[in-house]
Structure 1
Amino acid sequence: MSLSRLSGTLFIRLAILVVLAVLASQAFTLWLTAQQKSELLARQLYAQVLDTLADYEGVLEPLPVSQREAFLKNNNIPGIPRLLPLSATPPHDSPAPNVAKPLAQWLTEAVGEPVNVYFARGERRELWIKVPMLDSHYWLVMPMRRYLPPALLPTLQAAGLMALLSVLAAFALAWRTTRPLSHLAAAARDLESGRTPPTVPVQGPREVREVIERFNTMAQALDKAASERRLMLAGLSHDLRTPLTRLKLAVELQDEQAEKEGMLSDIDEMSRIVGQFIDFARSEEMRPQTPLALGELIDNVLDKFRRDGMGIDGECSDATINGDALSLQRLLSNLLENARRYGVAPFSVGLQHDATHCTLRVHDSGSGIAPHLQQAALTPFERLAAHRGSDGGSGLGLSIVTRIVTQHGGTLHFDFPPDGGFSVVISLPLAA
C-alpha cells in the first residue's frame, strides 16, 4: 500500500488524532505543573523573605546606626539569608528564575514602593533584593538552592514513557476500531465481484456492530434472492427446452415444404437463447477454482469451433491460473460465437503472459463495437440497435463473459489495434 493511501486510512487518522491529543495533554500538563511549582516556590520564598526582614529589623532597631553596618558585615555568612548594606556590590542584572517576578510584585505591594530583584549566577545562586528598613535601604541576599525548580529530566522521562504507552494504546484502540471495518470492506468487495462473502464477525463499537449486522442480513437476503432467481431461470429454461424439442421433432417429421427450413432455424435460435439463459443463471454460481493450464483449455475450445467449420488462428503460450475450467470454456465460447456472428474473418486467438498476469485476446477483422456502445454491450439483456430483433441473440453473451472475468479477479476491455479489426482483451492473474 502506498504512503498516500496509507495516510488516508481511518486507522492512521484515528491513531494520529489520539497521538496528537496525548502529546497536547502531556505538554499542557508539564506546563501547568511547572507553573504551579514556580508559584509554590515563590510563595515559600516570599514568606521567608518577610520572616528574615522581620528578624533583622528586630535585631537592628536597638543598635545605634553607626554599629549596624559592622553588625551586618560580621554576619555576612555565605549560604544563609543575610542583610548587607547598600555599599555592597550587587550582581549584574541577569535573567532571574520564574520565582523572581511574582516575588518582586508581592514585596512591592507589601512595602509600598518598587522593589528591585537581581539574580546572581555563579558558584552560589542568590537573589539580591533591595528593600527598605529602618528609614534606610539594604540588600537582602537570599540563597536560591532551595527555591530553584528541580531538573526537568526525570519529569520529561516519565512524561515520555507515559506518552509512549499512550501512543501504543492509541494504535491498539485504532486497530481494534478499524479492523471490523476492514473485514466489512473485504466482504463488500467479494459481494461486488459476484461472490457470496462469508459472514463478517460482529465486533467493534456499537455503531460498527450494527452496520456489520445489517450487512450480513443484506448479503444473506441477496444470496437468497440470487439463488431463487437462478432456480427460476434454470427451471424456466429447462421447461422451455422440452416443448422446443418436441416442436423441432414434429417439424422434421413433416413433409418437405418451403417454411420447414425457416421453422427449424427459428427453433434452433430459440434453443440457443434458452441455453444462454441457463449459462447466465449458472454464471452466478461460485465454483471452486483450481490451478489449470489456460493454453491447453483454449486449444480444446478452438478445436471444437474448427470442427464446426470456423477458421481460427491460435497462438497460445503456457500460462497457469487459478480458475474454473467450465466457466472459462463458456467465456471463450461466447467470445468466439460473438466473433463468428457479428465479426468478419479472419479470426485469431492469442494468449501471452508476464510475471503476474496473462492476456487473452480474441480478434476479428470487423468494425467491432463503437466506443459509445461498449458499456451497453456489457449490460445483461442489452442488445445493440444494429442487431436488435435480427440475430436471435439474447444480449447475455458479453454479460456472462464479464461476470466470469470478475469472478476470476481479471479485467476486460475492447481494443482497436493499429493494423485494423477489433479485439476483446482479457487480463487474468497467474497462479501464485
Structure 2
Amino acid sequence: MRRPIDSLFGRLVVLVIGVLVLSHVAWFAVIRVERDQSQTRYAVEEATFLVDAVRQHIANSPNQPLPSRVRVVPPTSPDVPKPTPTPADDEVPPPLGRFLEDIRDRLPDGTDVRLGEPGAPPSIWVRGVKDTDWIVVPVQPLRPPRSRDRMLVWLAIIFSTAVMAALLAAWQLQQPLRSLAQAVARFGRGQPTPPVPERGPRELRQLTHGFNQMVREVSQTDNDRAVMLAGVAHDLKTPLARLRLRAEMMEEAKIRDGVVRDVDSMAHIVDQFLVFAHDRADGSEPIEVDQQCEKVARTYRAVAPGAPPIQTRLGAGRSFVLPAATLDRLLSNLLDNAHAYGAPPIVIETWRAANGWVLRVADHGSGIAPDDLIKASRPFVRLDPARGGSGHSGLGLAIVERLARRAGGECEIGNYEGGGLQVVMTFPFDVATRPADERRAGSQHEERTA
C-alpha cells in the first residue's frame, strides 16, 4: 500500500507545513508578548505624564478646573484606597505588578502609588513626598477586551498563502524527478524510453542529461546486438533448409532421422535467436489470457497425447489481456522449458493480486539450485549438463523475462515449497485492464471516426 508521505512531494509538504507552523506560532507568541509590553509602557508613560501635568496645574493655576476623571483628593477622604500589596505578594497579578513597578521607577523616590477600588473605572492614586493631596488619574486597561484577535485572522491568511506558494514550488521541484523516476522504471523493464526533458536544478539537469546519454548508448548497443543476431540467424536459415532437404533424401533411416533431429534443433535455436533479437513493441491484438491459456493447454494435449499433463487454474477473468504474440511466446517458451527440464504435472495459473494480474507457470521437477537462480534468466547460460539438451541455447527464460518486462510487467523465477520451478509474472492493472472485445470495439470506433 502506497503512503503519500513516502513520496518526495509528500515529505516536502510535511516539511514546509511544519516549518511554516513553527515560524508562525513563534512570531505570534513574540508579537503578543511585545504588544503586551508596549501596552504596559504606553500606560506607564500616560499615567506619569498625567501626574506631572496635574502637579503643574496645581502649582500654576489651582483655580482652573481639572480634566474629566482627574481629581485631587485630600488624605483624610474616606475614598482613599488601601495600600496596594507589593508585587511579591500572590494577590497581585504579574502584569499589574510589573505596571506598578514601572510607575514607581518613573516617579520620585518615596512616592506612594495605589490602585483604584475594584469595580470602578481603572485609575491610580499617587502622592509624592511634597504632595499635600492624592492625585487620581485614569489609566488604560493593560489588556483591553477583544471579541476576536485580528492578528489571528491575518496570520491565517498569510499562512494559507505561504503554504499554497510553497506547495506549488515543491510540486514544480519534484515533477522533473518524478519524470526521471518513471523513465528509469521504464528503462529497467526494457520498455522504450524517450529522452527525459532536462529541467529543474542544475544537479537534476546533470543527472537527467547523464541518464539520457546512457539510454542512447545502451539502445545503440542493443540495436547493434539485435542486428547482428538477426543477421546471423537469418543467414543460417537457408543452409539449414538445404541440410534438411538433403537429410530427407538419405536412404538409411537411422542416419536420416538423426540428421533431421539435429537440423530441427539448430532451427529451433535460430528461432530463439530471432525472438531474443526482436526488440520492437508488440503491435498484435490483445487477447484474453485465461482463454488463450486454456487453448494452448488443449493444443498440447491434442498434439502430444503422451506428453506430461498440463493443469489450468485460471481465475483472472476476462479483464486480464495481453498482446497475442507476446502471450504465445511466453507460454511456448515456458511450456517447452517445463517439458524439457521439469516433471509433471505442469500448472498454468492466473489470478488477480493486490498489485496486478499474475500469470504463473510451474512444474514439479527438481527445480534449480538456489545459487543458480540469479543466473537462470541470463542469455546463453545453461546451468548444468543435466538441464541441457538438443535444441536449447539458454535463451528460454531470458526471452520470457524480456517479453514480460516489455509488456510492462515483472518476472520472478524461483523454486516453490511443493518442489519444482515456477515462473511468476505480474502485470500492473494499468497495462491490461479491459476485456479484448472492449478494446476491439474501441479501436474500431476510432477507425470509423478517423
Q: Same fold (TM over 0.5)?
A: yes
The residue number in structure 1 matching 2:290 is 295
Distance apart, 1:280 and its partner CA: 1.2
The residue number in structure 1 matching 2:8 is 10
The one-letter amino acid of 2:183's match is A
Determine whether 1:89 maps to 2:81. yes
Selected match of 1:431 from 424, 430, 433: 433
TM-score for both structures, normalised by structure 2: 0.75
Distance apart, 1:329 and its partner CA: 0.9
2:348 alignment partner, SS class: strand
Tell me, in whole angstroms, the C-alpha distance in 2 between the residues paired with 1:60 and 1:347. 118
| 1:82-114 C-alpha deviation (Å, 9 max, x unpaired) | 45566611467542648x736734742652468
The residue number in structure 2 matching 1:233 is 229
Tell me, in whole angstroms, the C-alpha distance in 1 between the residues paired with 2:359 and 2:57. 109
Say if 2:349 and 2:359, in contact at 8 Å, map to a contact too.
yes
Selected match of 2:186 from 190, 194, 199: 190
The one-letter amino acid of 2:402's match is R
Q: Identify the range of structure 1 (371-380 vs 260-269) with the bigger mean alpha-carbon deviation.
A: 260-269
1:401 alignment partner, SS class: helix
The residue number in structure 1 matching 2:376 is 377
Q: Structure 1 residues 413 and 231 mapped into 2: Cα distance closer, same or farther (>3 Å)? A: same
Q: Structure 1 residues 62 and 118 mapped into 2: Cα distance closer, same or farther (>3 Å)? A: same
Say if 2:359 and 2:425, in contact at 8 Å, map to a contact too.
yes
The residue number in structure 1 matching 2:439 is none
Say if 2:54 and 2:135, in contact at 8 Å, map to a contact too.
no
1:353 alignment partner, SS class: strand
Tell me, in whole angstroms, the C-alpha distance in 1 between the residues paired with 2:333 and 2:71. 106
Spell out the pairing of 1:362-401 with structure 2 (5 A cutoff). Answer: 362-387=361-386, 391=390, 393-401=392-400
Tell me, in whole angstroms, the C-alpha distance in 2 between the residues paired with 1:232 and 1:425. 31
Q: Identify the range of structure 1 (209-218 vs 258-267) with the bigger mean alpha-carbon deviation.
A: 258-267
The residue number in structure 2 matching 1:353 is 351
2:320 alignment partner, SS class: strand
Distance apart, 1:411 and its partner CA: 4.3
Say if 1:288 and 1:324, in contact at 8 Å, map to a contact too.
yes
Selected match of 1:313 from 300, 310, 314: 310
Spell out the pairing of 1:34-113 with structure 2 (5 A cutoff). Answer: 34-60=32-58, 80-82=69-71, 84=73, 88-90=80-82, 93-95=91-93, 97=95, 101=98, 104-105=101-102, 107-108=104-105, 111-112=108-109
Tell me, in whole angstroms, the C-alpha distance in 1 between the residues paired with 2:395 and 2:117. 94
The number of residue pairs the alignment matches comes to 414
How well do the aligned residues superpose, as a CA RMSD in angstroms?
3.9
Tell me, in whole angstroms, the C-alpha distance in 2 between the residues paired with 1:129 and 1:227. 99
The one-letter amino acid of 2:69's match is I
Q: Structure 1 residues 50 and 191 mapped into 2: Cα distance closer, same or farther (>3 Å)? A: same
Percent of residue pairs bearing the same amino acid type: 29
Q: Structure 1 residues 121 and 160 mapped into 2: Cα distance closer, same or farther (>3 Å)? A: farther
Determine whether 1:285 maps to 2:285. no
Determine whether 1:144 maps to 2:140. yes
The one-letter amino acid of 1:89's match is P
The residue number in structure 1 matching 2:331 is 332
Tell me, in whole angstroms, the C-alpha distance in 2 between the residues paired with 1:117 and 1:380. 98
Unaligned 5+ runs, structure 2: 86-90, 435-450
Spell out the pairing of 1:116-127 with structure 2 (5 A cutoff). Answer: 118=115, 122-126=119-123
Q: Structure 1 residues 83 and 104 mapped into 2: Cα distance closer, same or farther (>3 Å)? A: farther
The one-letter amino acid of 1:108's match is D
The residue number in structure 1 matching 2:159 is 163
Unaligned 5+ runs, structure 1: none
Spell out the pairing of 1:217-256 with structure 2 (5 A cutoff). Answer: 217-250=213-246, 256=252
Tell me, in whole angstroms, the C-alpha distance in 2 between the residues paired with 1:86 and 1:142. 19
| 1:373-427 C-alpha deviation (Å, 9 max, x unpaired) | 3232122222212447765522111111122223242544445464x65544445
Distance apart, 1:138 and its partner CA: 4.8
Tell me, in whole angstroms, the C-alpha distance in 2 between the residues paired with 1:117 and 1:401. 95
Q: Identify the range of structure 1 (234-243 vs 101-110) with the bigger mean alpha-carbon deviation.
A: 101-110
Distance apart, 1:43 and its partner CA: 4.3
Q: Identify the range of structure 1 (203-212 vs 225-234) with the bigger mean alpha-carbon deviation.
A: 203-212
Q: Structure 1 residues 174 and 118 mapped into 2: Cα distance closer, same or farther (>3 Å)? A: farther
Spell out the pairing of 1:26-37 with structure 2 (5 A cutoff). Answer: 26-37=24-35
Tell me, in whole angstroms, the C-alpha distance in 1 between the residues paired with 2:49 and 2:411. 89
Distance apart, 1:178 and its partner CA: 1.5
Distance apart, 1:9 and its partner CA: 2.0
Q: Structure 1 residues 39 and 115 mapped into 2: Cα distance closer, same or farther (>3 Å)? A: farther
TM-score for both structures, normalised by structure 1: 0.78
Spell out the pairing of 1:242-281 with structure 2 (5 A cutoff). Answer: 242-250=238-246, 256=252, 262-281=258-277
The one-letter amino acid of 2:196's match is V
The one-letter amino acid of 1:192's match is G
Distance apart, 1:237 and its partner CA: 1.9
The residue number in structure 2 matching 1:24 is 22
Distance apart, 1:173 and its partner CA: 1.8
| 1:214-236 C-alpha deviation (Å, 9 max, x unpaired) | 43343333333322222222112
The residue number in structure 2 matching 1:409 is 409
Tell me, in whole angstroms, the C-alpha distance in 1 between the residues paired with 2:180 and 2:276. 28
Q: Identify the range of structure 1 (387-396 vs 9-18) with the bigger mean alpha-carbon deviation.
A: 387-396
| 1:304-334 C-alpha deviation (Å, 9 max, x unpaired) | 5442563533446464433221121111111
